[in-house]
Chains A and B, each alone.
Chain A
Amino acid sequence: MELSQSILDGLTLAGETSHIPDKCFSVLVTRAFDGILDERHKQLIAKDPSFRSLDQAVVKEAYYSMVALVSEASKHDLDINSISSVLEECKYTNERIDVFNKVFTSKKPLMQILLSSVGTSPPHIVDVNWRLDYYIKNNHMERVNEAVYLIELKTEVPGTSETKDVQFSCTQEQLQDLVGKLKDACKCLEKISQM
């Protein structure tokens, strides 16, 4: 994990007792997580009474660097040891490191969930409806006698809350082909998981 100099400066700032007193520090860390994780809490830091008496520029800088550290650390899936070494470089006391680590370990999964939702992905199939039609004849042929499957996949598309339908029809062979492909994919996954 690499942090820019401005963030490191900000972290050092947040670690200094003269700028952020001890009792405000834990509030700052929790507010940083709250601000990222929940839209309703993004303003909390501004309203928090414990920061009233402090220099707002300092609070803003410390808050920014805390947010950046938390995001980067979750992105790189850092363990407590590595984070501690980063914080030690910024001259944190052990108590502050402990405070940070406690909050960080409890919120890391939530942060990673948030990070995992950033990005593009193909639609996700959640359900399927199907129907089997038997196609007996048409205008040109007396006897066709084929089975036709109508398949409707319900998919989740990024960015919308409703499912989107994907419809197609296929013959039995095509369906078998599809099923074969799916089985291949499953096998592939199993093979990878057994490495």
Chain B
Amino acid sequence: MEEVDNIILHSLRSIGCEIDEDVVSLKEFNTEAIVACSVRCIKTIHGDVDLPNTLPSAMSAKFRMGTSLANHLQELGYRGDVGYQTFLYSSEADIRKIFMFLVDKLPKEVVETTEEILGSSVLLQRNIANTLSRQLSSPWVPSSLKHKGIAWRGKPPTWQREGTCCSFHFHSCNVSAPEGSGDLSKKIPKALKSYYQTNLPFITCQTQDYNDIVPSVLEKNAADVTAQMEWENEWNQSGLASRLSQQEYRDRKRQRILKRITDQLRQDRQRSEATSGSGSSQDLQQMLASMGGRGTGSAKTKGSRFTHSEKLLFAKDDDKAISEVTTVLPAGQTEEEKQKEREEEVNGLKDELTSLTSRLDDLDLEVKKFTASIQQMEEQISNQNRSNSEKEDGYKVKKRTLDLLPDAENNIAKLQSVVDSSAQRLINLASQWEKHRAPLINQFRDLKELSSKTESEAQLKLEEIKEFRKKMKQVQDDARGKEELAKQLHSEYERMTKDVNRSAYTKRIMEIVTNIKKQKMEIDKVLVDTRAVQKEINQLSGKLDRQFTVTDELIFRDAKKDESVKKAYRYLASLHESCELLINTVEETGVILREIRELEDQIESEGHKKVLANLEKISKDYQQIKKENDTLIKKIKGKS
């Protein structure tokens, strides 16, 4: 019972019951303590219970309180017998039962929080709580005693910011540091290297304001990390599939973006020109041209003609505008006149502009026409040239044949031989060509096969690389998660109070379990024994019965003849009867003994219930109630 009491006392103390340190068992509880503890338990289980925390002094109030406590217990689902007497006139066993029930019903938040795995947020919150409680308990220090608003306290000294006089805003600027100076595989341009070595200041000297160093460094790191992650994502998603090297991929992307920007800007510019007709976008045009030039050669050639004409147009416009400004500067006019004049001027200029643009368009058209006609002409010329040379060739052949005509026979024979020899040569060449051709074709086929094979291999490798990347990422994530978990669990383990009680309890429980096992085995043994005895008894009684009937029959048969045998028969009957009686008596004694034992147990348990003391208490309480009633009656009488 000691362990049970210990557990009950421990949990009662943990919910805030005031129990003296030297109380070790429930036996030492008096009525007040019992009531206070049960009220506390019920209040912890049910938040909203209207019960006074301590036992009232008046007897009737005590009685009511006991009844309501009993009701609450029954509401909670207590099965045993419970009433006001359980609390007011307590017996140890009942109280233990009730407290066991109540402790079992207590909300188990504490246990749950230690069992679940704490998330990092919970850990952070605990950390915050710890720090806050430490700071709350620290004494106030006047601000003049703190250096830069920092107070150092405790041992080992921990700091704490109490004041904002020296804080500053997060402000970062661009800082740079040499990169890749240890990597021998990458070549750094000489100029850059000498800049790194001689001119680039150290990182701590790069900011204007000294306070900006840490923010700048942090921001640079964050920006680099983000850029790296973005790049990795993109490379994994689309970069690998494009089968370009990283550098090529980057170049291509840059070109694409530049092209898109230039296109967009050009479109917008044209649109704005169409609506307002103002030509102030010379700079933009230049920028576009330079961007095109930097981006790709093709973009430049594409836009060059357009930009050229634009330039021409705006150059003219600018000139004109300047001349107008210089010529028109009359003084002494009223605002309205000026306004009118300006409007006129603007109108005139607009007209001029439209006429100029239309003229320019016309001219453009003409130029186009002319270029087209030039091309046509050139084509014609080349055609003519070709026909000319053809005709010349024909003329030459005809002339030679004409030359050969006089000596026709001879010449024909000669020509025939020439033709023959050339035919022969042609055949020769063809056979030679065949000879060379066959191996070449074979080689070509082999190479083709090889290339297709390598291509497919490359494809496979690519797939593999992708898979490996995925796996790598997974493994990394896993490792990170596990590390985090390990850290959490470690801190959790460190936080945990190394409870000796717990291990003692478990040891005790194990002991009890083994004990129970032993006892069970013994009980089994006893049961087997009793069964064997029962069996023996049954066997013996059967044997006895059979023996008796046999003897009975034998003697009965002889009894008719012999007087002495008759007597013997009578003795036998009486012997049998008395033996039966004896057995019955033995059995009855056994029953009675058992009853006695039970009664003794009952007496003991009743003895535990402090009946006498309780009786005395009851009679005292009864007297008190009587007294109270008397006073009440007196009061009533006095009033009436």
Q: Give the interface of A toward B (CB within 8 A).
A: 2-7, 9-10, 12-13, 16, 19, 35-36, 39, 42-43, 45-46, 55-58, 60-61, 63-65, 67-68, 71-72, 75, 109, 112-124, 126-127, 156-161, 163, 189-190, 192-195
Contacts and interface: CB of A to CB of B under 8 A. Distances in A.
Contacts of A13: 181-182
B182 A190 contact: no
**In this complex, which of A109, A123, A127 has the most chain B Cβ atoms within 10 angstroms of its Cβ?**
A109
B459 interface: no
A57 B221 contact: no
A51 B434 CA distance: 74
A68 to B, nearest CB: 5
Nearest to A112: B159
A68 B129 contact: no
B532 to A, nearest CB: 66
Interface in B135-182: 136, 142-143, 148-150, 157-159, 161-170, 177-182
Given A61-B182, A71-B218, A193-B132, A56 B210 contact: no
Interface stretch (B190-198, B317-325, B381-389, B417-425): B190-198
A192 B169 contact: no
Contact of A68 (B161, B166, B180, B217): B217
A42 B205 contact: yes
Contact of B177 (A6, A119, A158, A194): A6
Contact of A72 (B165, B167, B179, B221): B221
A103 B410 CA distance: 113
Given A113-B161, A160-B165, 12 more contacts: A36-B213, A56-B197, A56-B198, A61-B178, A63-B177, A68-B220, A75-B218, A115-B214, A118-B169, A161-B166, A194-B133, A195-B125
Of all A-B residue pairs in the complex, the 10 with the closest CB atoms, nearest first, are A4-B224, A64-B177, A193-B133, A193-B132, A35-B204, A57-B196, A13-B182, A126-B143, A42-B204, A156-B165
Given A7-B224, A68-B217, A55 B197 contact: yes
A46 B133 CA distance: 45
Nearest to B177: A64
Nearest to A75: B218
Contacts of B165: 124, 156-158, 160-161, 163
B228 interface: yes
18 contacts: A4-B221, A4-B227, A7-B224, A46-B201, A55-B181, A57-B197, A63-B177, A68-B217, A68-B220, A114-B214, A118-B214, A118-B215, A121-B164, A124-B149, A158-B165, A158-B168, A193-B132, A194-B129
Given A57-B196, A71-B217, A189 B136 contact: yes
B203 interface: yes
Contacts of A35: 202-204, 213
B204 A45 contact: yes
Nearest to A122: B164
Given A60-B177, A61-B177, A61-B181, A158 B169 contact: yes
B224 A156 contact: no
Contacts of A156: 143, 149, 163-165
Given A68-B221, A116-B161, A57 B193 contact: yes
B168 A159 contact: yes
B33 to A, nearest CB: 28
B132 A189 contact: yes
Contacts of B196: 56-57, 60
Contacts of B179: 6, 9, 61
A155 B164 CA distance: 9
B17 interface: no
Nearest to B169: A120
B126 interface: yes
B205 A113 contact: no
Contact of A42 (B142, B157, B183, B210): B210
B200 interface: yes
Contacts of A190: 136
Contacts of B158: 109
A54 B607 CA distance: 96
B155 to A, nearest CB: 14
Contacts of A124: 149, 162-165
B225 interface: yes
B124 to A, nearest CB: 11
A20 B181 CA distance: 13
A57 B228 contact: no
B489 to A, nearest CB: 14
B128 interface: yes
Contact of A2 (B166, B181, B225): B225
A58 B184 CA distance: 12
Nearest to B131: A193
A67 B204 contact: yes
A119 to B, nearest CB: 6
Contacts of A159: 167-169
Nearest to B166: A117
A3 B169 contact: no
A61 B214 CA distance: 16
A6 B164 CA distance: 35
Contacts of B132: 189, 192-193
B205 to A, nearest CB: 6
Contacts of A122: 164
**In this complex, which of A58, A64, A109 has the most chain B Cβ atoms within 10 angstroms of its Cβ?**
A64
